[in-house]
Amino acid sequence: MRSDLRIAIVANEKRGDGNIELRLQSKGYQVVTLTTPSSVMGFIYSDPPDVILMDLSSPDEAFLGIIRSLKDDFFFSTIPVIGMMPEPAAEFFDWDEYPLDDFVTFPLNFRELFTRIVLSLRRLRRVFDNNPLTRLPGNTSIQRAIEQTVGKPMAVCYVDINHFKQYNDVYGFAHGDEVLRMLGRIMSNAVKDAGDGFAGHIGGDDFVFIVPFDQAEVVAGRIIANFTAVVSELFNEEEKRNGFFLAHDRKGNEEKVPLMGVAIAIVPTDSPKIGHYAKVAEVAAELKTLAKQSHKSCFVVDRRKY
């Protein structure tokens, strides 16, 4: 969590506590204190802070209205608002009318306040980054995880489902979504079994997992085996016997589509040529094209010596 966070303290002029500002600045936070209700929204609209601390020790309607205004605004509602109030007031506070994200009580325990600030931001980051379907970390977390592996004996592995679009077209989005959830679970469990790693969902039928390089092929093999076993239950006996299901191409012609499988591209990240996140994705795209040519589940490892 970066330490240059920008925090706005909203407090009645008579109750403003300079000590709070100093303690926050001692943590490296940039702090501004706003004491007049009319200045608060203008400041936030022109230069939104990362977190708002609101002194509710003697709340008035103008300050309480700021909470509602922020939370009714689809853009600014994402800014965490942490209330500071006397402990007895918390019991009777109208949480529905004034939807705070968290609160601390006076006298302030600054260690608790710092923790609440960090947790609020982390909670917000998870909510916005995780894929709503699989609940796996999304693109921001994936990029960060990949950047942390560059130069280390790790492997970034891109996973893609063969013939997922045709399956979605024939069987519908509800069944397609279940396939994505299933692959997310299978992949996460395989990574956990490896003991150390990361699993994320880029979107659609594109996933990423990261494990130590010496575990990559084992994990990929486990994902393929488990996906193959489970996916067979999605097709009827005739389709399984034939090894294909019937779909239609863009021109409306009937075609025989192989049963779904997974293609996995394994990119070692300690190669001299892998010096940036974008290069990992570029190499993975090449490998995934090779893996998908077989139309069956398989993985391809980049073993080139650059």
Is residue 65 domain-shared with residue 178, that is, in the same domain? Answer: no
Residues 120 and 11 in one domain: yes
Say if residue 179 is in the same domain as residue 111. Answer: no
pTM of the model: 0.68
**pLDDT value of position 129:** 85
Q: Where are the beta strands (DSSP E) in the chain?
A: 6-10, 30-34, 51-55, 81-86, 102-106, 154-162, 198-203, 206-212, 244-248, 254-258, 261-268, 298-301
Cα-based distances in Å from 201 to 206, 224, 264: 6, 17, 14
Q: Are 224 and 247 in contact (CB under 8 A)?
A: no
Q: Is residue 195 located within the same domain as residue 219?
A: yes
Residue 159 and residue 263 in contact, taking contact as beta carbons nearer than 8 Å: yes
Is residue 134 included in any domain, yes or no? Answer: no
- Domain assignment present for residue 158? The answer is yes
- The pLDDT score that the predictor gives to residue 90 is 87
Residue 260 CB burial class (10 angstroms; 0-12, 13-18, ≥19): buried
pLDDT given at position 196: 79
**102 DSSP assignment:** E
* Amino acid 15: pLDDT: 58
**Which residue range(s) make up the domain with 50?**
6-127
* Mean pLDDT, residues 255-274 taken together: 93
Residue 199 within a domain: yes
Measured between alpha carbons, how far is 70 from 155 in angstroms, rounded to an integer?
43
- For the stretch 217-250, pLDDT in tens is 999 999 999 999 999 889 999 999 999 999 988 8
Judge whether 1 lies within some domain: no
Is residue 306 in some structural domain? no
Question: Could you tell me if 270 and 159 lie in one domain?
Answer: yes
Q: What is the pLDDT of residues 47-101, one digit of tens each?
A: 889 999 999 988 788 888 999 888 887 678 888 999 999 998 888 888 888 899 9
Q: Domains in the chain: how many in total?
A: 2
Q: Rounded distance, CA 238 to CA 240, Å?
A: 5
105-150 pLDDT tens trace: 999 999 999 999 999 988 887 777 888 888 899 998 899 999 999 9
For the stretch 18-44, pLDDT in tens is 789 999 999 999 999 998 888 888 888
In this structure, is residue 132 part of a structural domain?
A: no
Among positive and negative, which fits the CA dihedral 76, 77, 80, 81? positive
The reported pLDDT for the residue numbered 59 is: 75
Contact 114, 1 (CB under 8 A): no
- Same-domain check for residues 147 and 291: yes
276 with 186, same domain?
yes
Q: Is residue 268 part of a domain?
A: yes
Q: Are 144 and 293 contained in the same domain? A: yes
> Domain with 152 in it: what CATH number?
3.30.70.270
Contact 19, 108 (CB under 8 A): no
Same domain, 63 and 179: no
